[in-house]
Amino acid sequence: MKLSYATGLRCLKCDAEYPLGRFFEGCTRCRTTDLIANLFVSYDYEKLETKVKRSTIAERPASLGVWKYSELLPVGGHDFMITLGEGGTPLIHCKRLGAHLGLRNLYVKNESANPTWSFKDRLCAVAVSKGLELKAKLVTTASTGNLGASTAAYAAHAGLPSIIFTLPTVSRTMLALMQVYGAKIIPVSTAEGRWKLMSEGVRVHSWYPTGSYTVPTASGNPYGVQGYKTIGYEIMEQLAWKVPDLIVHPTCWGEGMFGTWLAAKEYYDLGWIDQLPQMLAAESEAGGPLSYALAEPEHRLLPVKTKRTIASSIATSISSYQGLRAVIDSSGNAIRMSDKELLEMQKEIASSEGIFVEASSAASVAAAGKLRQEGSLDASDTVVCVLTSSGLKDAQTSQLAQLRLPTIDANWQQFMQVLGDMDID
C-alpha cells in the first residue's frame, strides 16, 4: 500500500512547481514586495482514485491521529510519522446554543481535545514529521501562543531540540507550556525581529521552521498547512458525507481555514462529496485584514492597524493569500468580532454546552450568530464552527472566575441566604 500520493509543491497563485523539499518562503517566482503566495502540496489524485475509497480511509481508527489520512498528506515513510493522537476530535451538535442563536443544525468541532489543547497540533504533527523526513536537526518557530506550545511538544516527541522566538509580553500559561516541553525560549523585543533571527537560523543553519518568517508573510510551513486538511476530512465523515452549508474558522492568517477548504475541494474533486461548503473567516476587530481585503475593490491584502485585545490568537495586522483564496473560491466571507462579543460567547458556549474554549476560539460561533441575526443564514442551515483551543489557555485574561464568594458554615439557613433565587426542588 502506498503511504502518500504527494508528488510536489505548487504555487497557489502562479502554478509554479517545486519538488517536495525545503521550501518555506512561499513562491519565489511570483513574489512581490507586497505579496508572497504560499505553496501547497499536489497529489496524484488519478492513481489515488483507483486504489483508495472514501470508506477505506473513514473506517480506519482515530487513534492513527492525522495519519489516518496519510495518502493525502506529504510524508512518505512510517518511520517519520509521529503522532500524539491529535485529531479525531468530537463534532458536537449544539442544540441549546443553536436554539439561542436561531440555528437548528449548529455543530462545533472541538479542537481543544487535541494533545496540547489546540488545533495547531494537526499542523505540528505533519510539519515535524516532514522535518524528520527532510533530516531536520532543530525545529524553530516564532510564537506567543499555541503554535509555540505545539511546536515544542511535537519537537520533544520527535526527539529534536527546539528554539521558540517569543515576545516579552507572552502569557504565563503559554510560556509554561513551551518551557515544560523543553524548548529554548528566546524573547525578542519586536515581532519582526523574531522573524529576522528565525530566517537566519533556517537559511544559514538549516533549522526547520513550523511557521512563517518572511516579510510579507507566505504564511505557514506548506507541509504543516496540509495537516489542517484533516479537520475538513473529519467534519465530512462525522456528518456522514452531508456537506455543511458553512464552516467557520477563528482566523488569524487563515492557514487553518485554507486547510479545511482544501480538504473539501479534494473530496469534491474525487467525487466523494457532492457539494462544497462556504468558508467564513471569523476575525478580531483588533485587526481583521481579510475583512478589509474583501471590502477593497481589488481585494488587495494590505496591513491594517491593530489594537489591544484579549483575542491574541487571532488578532493580526496581516493576512495571507491562501486565506483570501479560501473565502473567495468558496464564495465565503470574513467578519470581525469585538472583545465583548468574544467574551460573552465564550461564557455562553461553556454554560449552555459544557465546552470551555479560548476567547479567540469563540469567534467562530459569535460570527455564525451574527450572520444569522443579519439574516444571511437560514434557521435550517448546517453550520460547523471550529473551536480552535481550550479556555484554560487564557483563563486569566478572560477573568471568568468570580473570586469574591462568601464562605458559609454547614447551616441550611445560611445556605438558603446565599443561594439566591435558584430553584432547588
Question: Among Zn ion, ligand PLP, none, what does residue 343 contact (CB within 5–8 Å per kind)?
Answer: none
In this complex, which beta carbon is closest to ligand PLP, that of residue 3 or of residue 91? 91
In DSSP terms, 141 is beta-bridged to 164
Residue with cell 481585503: 293
In the complex, what is the shortest distance from the CB of residue 290 to Zn ion, in angstroms, rounded to a whole number? 20
Closer residue to ligand PLP in complex, CB, 272/326? 326
Size of the site for ligand PLP (CB under 6 A): 20
Nearer to Zn ion, 41 or 158 (CB): 41
The distance of closest approach from Cβ of residue 412 to ligand PLP in the complex, given in angstroms and rounded to an integer, is 44
Q: Which does 115 bind (CB under 5 to 8 A by kind): ligand PLP, Zn ion, none?
A: none
302 binds Zn ion (CB under 5 A): no
Is the distance from CB of 123 to CB of 150 less than 8 angstroms?
yes
- What distance in Å separates the CA atoms of residue 411 and residue 143, rounded to the nearest whole number? 51
For 166, 288, 416, the CA distances from 248, given in Å and listed in that order, are 28, 15, 44
Task: Give the binding range for Zn ion (CB under 5 A) out of 15-23, 65-73, 76-84, 145-153.
Answer: 15-23
Binding part of the chain for ligand PLP, among 69-77, 203-211, 254-262, 400-408 by CB under 6 A, reads 254-262
From residue 146 to residue 185, the character string flagging contacts with ligand PLP as x (rule: CB under 6 A) and all else as - is xx--------------------------------------
Residue 390 engages ligand PLP in binding (rule: CB under 6 A): no
- Which of residues 26, 209, 250, 391 is near ligand PLP by CB under 6 A? 250
How many residues make contact with Zn ion (CB under 5 A)? 7
Q: Does 118 bind ligand PLP (CB under 6 A)?
A: yes
Rounded to whole angstroms, what are the CA distances from 226 to 123, 261, 265, 352, 407? 7, 11, 13, 33, 52
Per DSSP, 22 falls in state: S
Choice between 103 and 324, CB closer to ligand PLP: 324
> How far is 369 from 379, CA to CA, in rounded Å?
11
With a CB cutoff of 8 Å and minimum separation 6, the contacts of 200 are: none
Output 158 or 324, the one with its CB closest to ligand PLP. Answer: 324
Question: Which one of 208-216, 298-306, 356-364, 401-409 is the stretch in contact with ligand PLP (CB under 6 A)?
Answer: 356-364
Among 115, 254, 277, 288, binds ligand PLP (CB under 6 A): 254
Q: Is 120 an interacting residue with respect to ligand PLP (CB under 6 A)? A: yes
Closest contact distance (angstroms) between CB of 53 and ligand PLP is 30
Grid cell, residue 358, equals: 479560548
* Separation of alpha carbons 300 and 289, rounded Å: 10
For Zn ion, the closer of residues 16 and 270 by Cβ is: 16
d(CA 319, CA 212): 12
Retrieve residue 419's grid coordinates. 443561594
Region from 21-29, 130-138, 169-177, 249-257 binding ligand PLP, contact rule CB under 6 A: 249-257
Residue 312 as a binder of ligand PLP (CB under 6 A): the answer is no
Kindly write down the DSSP assignment for every residue of 239-274, as one continuous string: TTTPPPSEEEEE-SSSHHHHHHHHHHHHHHHTTS-S
Task: At 63, list the grid cell.
Answer: 487513534
Q: Which of 192, 185, 136, 180 lies closest to 317 in space, CA to CA?
A: 192
Q: State the binding string over 100-139 for Zn ion (x if CB under 5 A, else -).
A: ----------------------------------------
In sequence order, the 6+-apart residues with CB closer than 8 A to the CB of 275 are: 243, 268
Contact between 358 and ligand PLP (CB under 6 A)?
Answer: yes
Helix pair 120-133, 255-269: axis angle to 10 deg: 80
Q: Grid coordinates standing for 421?
A: 433565587
Nearer CB in complex with Zn ion: 20/163 = 20
Cα separation, 190 vs 305, in Å, equals 16
Q: What is the DSSP letter of 308?
A: -
- Say which entry of Zn ion, ligand PLP, none residue 313 contacts (CB below 5 to 8 A, set by partner kind): ligand PLP
CB 88 within 8 A of CB 234: yes
Q: Dihedral through CA 5, CA 155, CA 161, CA 132, nearest 10?
A: -10
Where do contacts with Zn ion occur on this chain (CB under 5 A)?
Answer: 11, 13-14, 16, 27, 29-30
Where do contacts with ligand PLP occur on this chain (CB under 6 A)?
Answer: 118, 120, 145-147, 250-257, 313-314, 358, 360-361, 388-389
